[in-house]
Amino acid sequence: MGIGLATVIPLGWGQWVAGFTDQSTDNAYLRADITPVSTQIGGLVRAVLVRDFERVHAGDILAEIDPAEYLAKVSRVRAAVSAAEAAIRNVDSRVQLQHRIIAQAQASIQATAADRDRAAAEHGRQKTLARDGWSTGQRLEEALAAIRRFEAQMIEKQAEVDAERQQLDVLGTQREQASAELASRRAELQLAEIELGYTKVIAPTDGVVNVSSVRAGQYVSAGTRVISVVPLPNVYVVANYKETQLGKVRVGQAVTIAVDMFPGERLAGRIEQISPASGSEFALLPADNATGNFTKVAQRIAVKIALTDVPEGLRQQLRPGMSVVSTIHTDTPAKL
């Protein structure tokens, strides 16, 4: 009989346990989404503005880093932005001046064209007079030379206008370069202002802080943890059930929770999530069972349980890390 029990019980134990209506485990603890608050810049801590275990609200200043260096950086970049804006205004003024120069050159062309027309008319008169014998060939040649001279001047002045218009293209390129420089300086200013804002370490959420990791006068670098914010009273339960207990467990089923700190108290909960893998799969060194020596061990799967009905006075006393015993009622319908 003893040999039979020693053989049958291990073989059927898992199925027997999986058939229980209520699945319990004491491998369960209260948890909370604790937020570590770290610095995003380096500098000397000027002040820590919260006491240990003090309640804070989102947006409260937890600590301050000396802003002198970052204020100077903002002032320097603002001056660079002003210089870049002045460079653009300078280019715009040169463009306006260039338009006036072009207009003046075009007016000069028109004046030369008028002189050419007058010379052409004189050439016509001299040609008629010379045919009738009233003018000399010399005057006719002078009138023709005047026409050619004014036409040459018009070509020269038109080339000047083309050169001045080409200068407009150069100024346009310079303005594009100045605009790019201004955009770069403005981006630097925005970054400098962001870094200046980082001198105030802000609470990201409501909750209670733990013991501060820094003190006034201490030098911190970017990424130094200053403090952590525990979002009390928003806690939940993470229960690690054996794989043999989860055959009938579904998201939404009711759970009864007993907190070790409060004997006799029973809290109501509901399964919110079931881990996608066992804890060993997330270990730093996952188990490798492809070896000659193998011992089968029941794996544990984390189950996240939300507290649904907790008296307010008791809720305020719950703390992450407390040990609990959770009991899943697999006969209750899953409520999503």
One fold for 19-33+231-329 and 69-197? no
pLDDT grade for 137, boundaries at 50, 70 and 90: low
Helix intervals (H) in 65-200 = 68-132, 137-197
pLDDT grade for 133, boundaries at 50, 70 and 90: low
Fold of the 19-33+231-329 domain: Elongation Factor Tu (Ef-tu); domain 3 (2.40.30)
Those residues with Cβ within 8 angstroms of residue 71's Cβ, 6 or more apart along the chain or in another chain: 196
What's the Cα-to-Cα distance from 173 to each of 81, 83, 95, 179, rounded to whole Å?
Answer: 19, 18, 11, 10
> What is the average per-residue pLDDT within 296-310?
90
Residue 257 has φ and ψ, to the nearest 5°, of: -125, 130
For residue 11, the model assigns a pLDDT of: 45
Residue type, position 237, single letter: V
Residue type, position 141, single letter: E
For residue 111 the two structure tokens come to: 């004046």
pLDDT in tens, 1-56: 666 545 544 544 444 455 678 999 999 999 999 999 999 999 999 999 999 999 99
Strands 225-230 and 55-56 turn out to be unpaired
How far apart CA 229 and CA 211 sit, in angstroms, is 10
Angle at 209 between CA 204 and CA 214, to 5 degrees: 95
The lowest-confidence range among 190-199, 208-217, 288-297 is 288-297
Percent over 70 (pLDDT), the chain:
88
Please tell me the CATH code under which domain 43-66+199-230 is placed: 2.40.50.100
For residue 70, the model assigns a pLDDT of: 94
The lowest-confidence range among 102-111, 128-137, 247-256, 325-334 is 128-137
For residue 12, the model assigns a pLDDT of: 47
State the pTM of this model.
Answer: 0.71
> What is the average per-residue pLDDT within 293-315?
87
> Domain coordinates of the chain in residue numbers?
19-33+231-329, 43-66+199-230, 69-197
> What is the average per-residue pLDDT within 238-267?
92
For residue 220, the model assigns a pLDDT of: 93
Angle (deg, nearest 10), helices 137-197 and 68-132: 170
Mean pLDDT across the chain, nearest whole number? 85
How far apart CA 198 and CA 63 sit, in angstroms, is 10
pLDDT grade for 130, boundaries at 50, 70 and 90: low
pLDDT grade for 170, boundaries at 50, 70 and 90: confident
CATH 3.40.50.720 fits 69-197, yes or no: no
For residue 334, the model assigns a pLDDT of: 74
For residue 321 the two structure tokens come to: 């890390």
